[in-house]
Structure 1
Amino acid sequence: MDVSPALLSDDGVFAAIAETEAAARALHLRRLRLLAEVLRRGLDTDTHRRLVRADAREVKRWTAQATLFLPSTSPTGQPLPPLHPVTGVVLEELSDGHLTQLARAISLRLPDGSEEIPVEAARSVEPKAVRQLADRIRDRAEQDRVDEVDEPAADPGDTLHLRDLPDGRLEFFGELSAETGARFTALLEPLPTPHPDGPRDAARRRGEAFADLIPLASRSGDLPSEAGERPHISVTLDYRALRRGVGHAVLDSDRHLSAAQARRIACDAKILPVVLGGDSEVLDPGRAKRTVSTAQRRALHARDRGCAFPGCHRPPQWCDAHHIQHRADGGTTDLSNLVLLCRTHHSLVHHTHRQVTMTGGTPTFIPPRHVDPAQRPRQNLLHRPPPLAA
């Protein structure tokens, strides 16, 4: 009789879970044996798929498991052992997920004698760990092969392909050597940590982390110069578009940015005013002026100690200097009008027009009503916690 889980003891709940999982493994093994018989008899596989109500990808995965791990029959009717008997011996202990990863491990063509390692692991760990173990065995084998040949010839090197997309976006893909990949991963790993206002999926977080690396690299004193200047971005836009934040700006590569994006760049940039004639003829190039000096940035680092947005842990080297009142709106480049913001919160403040003030020399943020109906002022206490009460 099926007893309601609410009536079971704690040990009974765990016992029921173990029993259910054992039944699920047995059911999957019977599924594989029936599928193997369908294939042996040459029956209609579409009828089988409709009966089990599975998509083609699932049936393909089960077919691979049945072919690799179940005994078969020769054309003359003689019984044949499984192609991979090591896994076949423990089939009753393994789930669909484990068998899927073991079939994948076989497709990786692991070195002879190594099949037992992931099979033994599958008896005690989750499928994801089996996949990671198989990848490590493959990577070790590939590295051993590289060591046996001339390393420069075996290493394909670093490649990067770029393609312009609409709206000024850039698509890139490529391949990094083992050495470069290790260094890149070491730089990236500390950055893509979830935070309340950021993306939750790993790919978006890694993208944000990669974007954070770029301004940090641009501030490096070791970068080469071009025409006497360090690497820079030239953005051209109409002054009225800069004031309103509506319209578009043009990069030297003829790609476009929105005026709002240009306003964010202008927060912490070197501004070169240019007077244009009626036919866009340059009449008077002005003198370049960096909005935030090196001394001011040092002072901001000492004061804010990182992104000033409440709850953000980003250190100062990953932040931009944001004008509380934008320069295009008459704001001055003084410490009382500047605040350090990471890229994510810099975009958020510009996009939502989040109100920022200075309270006792500390940046203070006024949340919108949908976040806090009382709109109580907030400060970032992670970088500078309040003093303990005596």
Structure 2
Amino acid sequence: MEIVPALLTDDGVFDAVVETEAALRTLHLRRLRLLAEVLRRGLDTDTYRRVVRADPREVKRWTTQATLFLPSLSPTGQPLPPLHPATGAVLEELSDGHLTELARAISLRLPDGSEEILVEAARSVEPKAVRQLADRIRDRAEQDRVDEVDEPAADPGDILHLRDLPGGRLEFFGELSAESGARFTALLEPLSTPRPDGPRDTARRRGEAFADLIHLASRSTDLPSEAGERPHISVTIDHDTLRRGVGHAVLDGDHHLSAAQARRIACDAKILPVVLGGASEVLDLGRAKRTVSVAQRRALHARDRGCAFPGCHRPPKWCDAHHIQHWADGGSTDLSNLVLLCRAHHSLVHHSQWQITTTGGTPTFIPPRHIDPAQRPRQNLLHRPPTPTPALAA
């Protein structure tokens, strides 16, 4: 029977959305199975493409999905499991977009156990977040392979290309290393925030901010500040990694760099120590104070590394410290009751039925039933992707 959206209740609208999306996933799975049969029989794929009126790139994408994730038959007719059973086991739950990103991730040749991590994420976040997580795992794996001795040869360093333009203008492009990029961003962000009388376009704001940086650098003593502090870089690294000089650190909550790079930053940068509990700084204020202390915010930056909402990539500097149990309702200003959320997700959890808990010190989000009837707990794997190991696959 045809659904008339205007006659549905609010809950009924979301129920219909869930039902429709499930039907679309079922139809896509049927499409892949039929395409797999076309390929098995050696039928003309151009005829298939004309029948479905699809772009060749779409057919190529579906062919890849069918090859990687569907069971097949041996030349003797024996059934064979999917090449990638972790994804094949949950095909009914994944959309075309999710399967596309999982196929791309497989082409990246990520470490063992990565597919299981990505499949679990795909069951609760949008395809773009799966792509970002795959890239984070790849970057972390590549950084772990860079030994301190080999690092100078592996790192291309900072590159800048200049070209004169008519009228005296200058065109430039290039790329910065992780550490130089972090310094540059720390200087640029305070100057490029939106102003009532300034440009709305992000590129123009950054351009003006960059010009301001040049003028400030020429005076050398006048540097920008943010929240009352001079530009700084936060580096999180465990003691053993710092001592051995092999491994990686986390730069400003998002980027991975080697222990050697972290030590170089320490030579001329202001390093903010992160104390996750201990005698040197009081991190739990209980009910005595509603606002979050500087020490607590630093601890939250190190723990959450950005907005903790599943799939959000916003860095720590763009986030608020949110009380899981509101302070006005008796919640304490302790780390166990605090979580970093960007403005958009801060507003979302205030006005929706998302529940937040902490599991092993990591914020965990439970969606309302109209988003996930099973209400499976979710975490943001973009900022803290688990290290893929064979044990995880088991």
**Normalized against structure 2, the TM-score is what?**
0.50
Q: Matched residues in 2 for 1:82 and 1:56: separation?
A: 24
Partner of 1:146, secondary structure, is coil
Deviations 1:182-213 (A, max 9, x none): 2233344452659898566xxxx236414431
Q: Matched residues in 2 for 1:96 and 1:125: separation?
A: 14
Once the two structures are superposed, the pairs formed by residues 260-271 of structure 1 within 5 Å of their partners are none
Q: Matched residues in 1 for 2:138 and 2:148: separation?
A: 16
Q: Matched residues in 2 for 1:169 and 1:64: separation?
A: 47
Paired position in structure 2 for 1:218: 215
Q: Matched residues in 1 for 2:113 and 2:211: separation?
A: 45
CA contact (8 A) 1:192 1:206 kept: no
Q: Matched residues in 1 for 2:196 and 2:87: separation?
A: 42
Q: Matched residues in 1 for 2:97 and 2:118: separation?
A: 13
Paired position in structure 2 for 1:44: 44
Q: Matched residues in 2 for 1:73 and 1:199: separation?
A: 58
Q: Matched residues in 2 for 1:121 and 1:76: separation?
A: 37
Q: Matched residues in 2 for 1:194 and 1:126: separation?
A: 32
Q: How far did residue 72 of structure 1 move?
A: 2.0
* Inter-CA distance 211–103: structure 2 relative to 1 (3 Å threshold): farther
Q: How far did residue 139 of structure 1 move?
A: 1.4
Q: Matched residues in 1 for 2:101 and 2:55: separation?
A: 19
1:136 aligns with 2:133: no
Q: How far did residue 90 of structure 1 move?
A: 0.4
* Inter-CA distance 28–149: structure 2 relative to 1 (3 Å threshold): farther
CA contact (8 A) 2:36 2:63 kept: yes
* Inter-CA distance 188–197: structure 2 relative to 1 (3 Å threshold): closer
Deviations 1:280-333 (A, max 9, x none): xxxxxxxxxxxxxxxxxxxxxxxxxxxxxxxxxxxxxxxxxxxxxxxxxxxxxx
- The answer to which of 111-120 and 187-196 deviates more is 187-196
CA contact (8 A) 1:118 1:133 kept: yes
Partner of 2:129, secondary structure, is helix
Deviations 1:198-257 (A, max 9, x none): 566xxxx2364144312331342357xxxxxxxxxxxxxxxxxxxxxxxxxxxxxxxxxx
CA contact (8 A) 2:32 2:65 kept: yes
Paired position in structure 1 for 2:27: 27
CA contact (8 A) 1:188 1:206 kept: no
Q: How far did residue 30 of structure 1 move?
A: 0.9
Paired residue type of 2:212:
P
Q: Matched residues in 2 for 1:197 and 1:56: separation?
A: 46
Q: Matched residues in 1 for 2:102 and 2:155: separation?
A: 29
CA contact (8 A) 1:69 1:87 kept: yes
Deviations 1:343-373 (A, max 9, x none): xxxxxxxxxxxxxxxxxxxxxxxxxxxxxxx
Deviations 1:151-189 (A, max 9, x none): 222211111223456776655432321211222333444
Q: Matched residues in 2 for 1:176 and 1:134: separation?
A: 22
Q: Matched residues in 2 for 1:58 and 1:196: separation?
A: 46
Deviations 1:123-157 (A, max 9, x none): 11111221121111111111111246432222111
Paired residue type of 1:125:
V
Q: How far did residue 18 of structure 1 move?
A: 0.7
Partner of 1:173, secondary structure, is strand
Paired position in structure 2 for 1:159: 159
* Inter-CA distance 4–194: structure 2 relative to 1 (3 Å threshold): farther
Paired residue type of 2:99:
L
Question: How many pairs were matched up?
Answer: 219
Paired position in structure 1 for 2:56: 56
Partner of 2:113, secondary structure, is coil
Deviations 1:72-101 (A, max 9, x none): 223333322211111000000001111111
For structure 2, the 5+ residue unaligned runs are: 221-394
Q: Matched residues in 2 for 1:105 and 1:58: separation?
A: 18
* Inter-CA distance 211–61: structure 2 relative to 1 (3 Å threshold): farther
Paired position in structure 2 for 1:150: 150
Paired position in structure 2 for 1:316: none
Paired position in structure 2 for 1:340: none
For structure 1, the 5+ residue unaligned runs are: 224-390
- Structure number with greater Rg is 1
Q: Matched residues in 2 for 1:193 and 1:50: separation?
A: 50
Once the two structures are superposed, the pairs formed by residues 202-241 of structure 1 within 5 Å of their partners are 205-206=202-203, 208-221=205-218
- The answer to which of 133-142 and 207-216 deviates more is 207-216
Instruction: Quote the RMSD (CA, aligned, Å).
Output: 2.7
- The answer to which of 206-215 and 80-89 deviates more is 206-215
Once the two structures are superposed, the pairs formed by residues 264-303 of structure 1 within 5 Å of their partners are none
RCO greater where, 1 or 2, for CA within 8 Å and sep 6 or more? Answer: 2
* Inter-CA distance 126–43: structure 2 relative to 1 (3 Å threshold): same
Q: Matched residues in 1 for 2:26 and 2:149: separation?
A: 47
CA contact (8 A) 2:187 2:213 kept: no
* Inter-CA distance 186–4: structure 2 relative to 1 (3 Å threshold): same
Q: How far did residue 56 of structure 1 move?
A: 2.1
